[in-house]
Structure formats: C-alpha cells, structure tokens
A and B are shown apart, each in its own frame.
Chain A
Amino acid sequence: DQQVKQNSPSLSVQEGRISILNCDYTNSMFDYFLWYKKYPAEGPTFLISISSIKDKNEDGRFTVFLNKSAKHLSLHIVPSQPGDSAVYFCAASAMNYGGSQGNLIFGKGTKLSVKP
C-alpha cells in the first residue's frame, strides 16, 4: 500500500502563473517531508523540505505547505518558469524514529509542464 501518494501524474500551467503540486501520506509517524525535482535521465535534485513542527517553509519561488491533520502537503511555485518543467517527487520519512524508519519513502511523481 502506498504510504506517499501523488495523485496527479501530470500538471500543465502557463508561464508566470502558480503551480501547485499535491502530496498525501498515510503514515502518521512521518515527521519530515521533502520535494525533489528530476529532469529526464538525471538524478533527482533536492528542492525544499519541511519538518512536521512547521506548517510552511519558503525558499525563493518555492513554498511548501504542510497540513498535518489532513496528512497533506503541497508545493507552490510562483511564478512558474519553463525551466521548472520536470517531474517532482514528494518524499517522507520518520526522522525521529531512526533506523529504517528514517529512510525516505517516495511518491510516484508529478510531471509539471510550464508553457511559455
């Protein structure tokens, strides 16, 4: 059973508009969440993360929001640029529990296309 779900396989937005990528999780032990960006035939690149003690983290054009009660997080990209076109993976871990529970669990990814 998937513990981290990205229900939208793809998303298309216009350049300059906001992109919102969503992620849901089922394991209440998850306490650290990350977003990675991946171009074809390359390794994922770390983008932004958030601890469960926060509900928002911002880094330039990228903001991650966490709603613990809904077990939902989202990545906002404002304004979207054509270079943002990539697959975005959500990942989660139970950082404070250590051992194998500290490993990252990845969603299946959302392919973002930003049209000029």
Chain B
Amino acid sequence: DGGITQSPKYLFRKEGQNVTLSCEQNLNHDAMYWYRQDPGQGLRLIYYSQIVNDFQKGDIAEGYSVSREKKESFPLTVTSAQKNPTAFYLCASQGAVAKNIQYFGAGTRLSVL
C-alpha cells in the first residue's frame, strides 16, 4: 500500500561523521519535505523539493544537504557541520490533488554518540 517510508528508525552519529537519512514515497507526489522536531518544539523545515532535480533551503538548512534525483526519493544528509544534530527527523510529501496536505513518514531519531 502507498505511503512514505523513512529509514532507519534510529541512527547514531559519531563526532565528525556524515549520516544519511532515507525517505521514499510511492504516492506519486511531486513535493517532498524534511523537518526537524526538537522536544517541546514544532516542526521546522530543513529542505524541500517541489520537483525532481530541484530543491530549496528551508528555515534551518545549515549543516544539512539533500538530493532529489528521483521522484520517489529525497535523502537527507546530516553533515559534520551540524553541531546539534540530535533530533527527530520527519519526511513528508504532498500531491497536486490534496494541495497543502502533507503526509508524513514515521520519522528517524538521530542521536550523537
């Protein structure tokens, strides 16, 4: 059945290491998004992509990078430049039919070792 799959569910990063979080959707949605959630905070937008091979910075893009080579996939790399990476990361997608309703994956919790 259709949905958004994020993997892994839990991820640990060592000092100075880059890690990549996977997000795959089979909903045929054009737009995809990455958010970060910290305790007691709302969702903050990291990067978004409205079409393949194009993406834009969100509010907190520093220390992160993305790619959008396929419609189904929007991986997020947390680089060593991100000094406070511990958070819950959420991927979402949005289609053309139900505009502005974003559908979310189950999330990845990233922790620093």
Contacts and interface: CB of A to CB of B under 8 A. Distances in A.
Contacts of A106: 35, 42-44
Interface range on chain A: under 10, 10 to 19, 20 to 34, or 35 or more?
A: 20 to 34
Interface string B73-113: 00000000000000010101000000111111111010000
A4 B44 CA distance: 12
A36 B41 CA distance: 14
Interface in A24-41: 32, 34, 36, 41
A57 interface: no
Given A41-B109, A100-B56, A46 B103 contact: yes
Contacts of B107: 41-43
A34 B100 contact: yes
A9 B100 contact: no
A116 B65 CA distance: 45
B104 A49 contact: no
B100 A43 contact: no
A45 interface: yes
B48 interface: yes
Interface string A77-116: 0000000000001000101000010111011110000000
B2 interface: no
Nearest to A107: B42
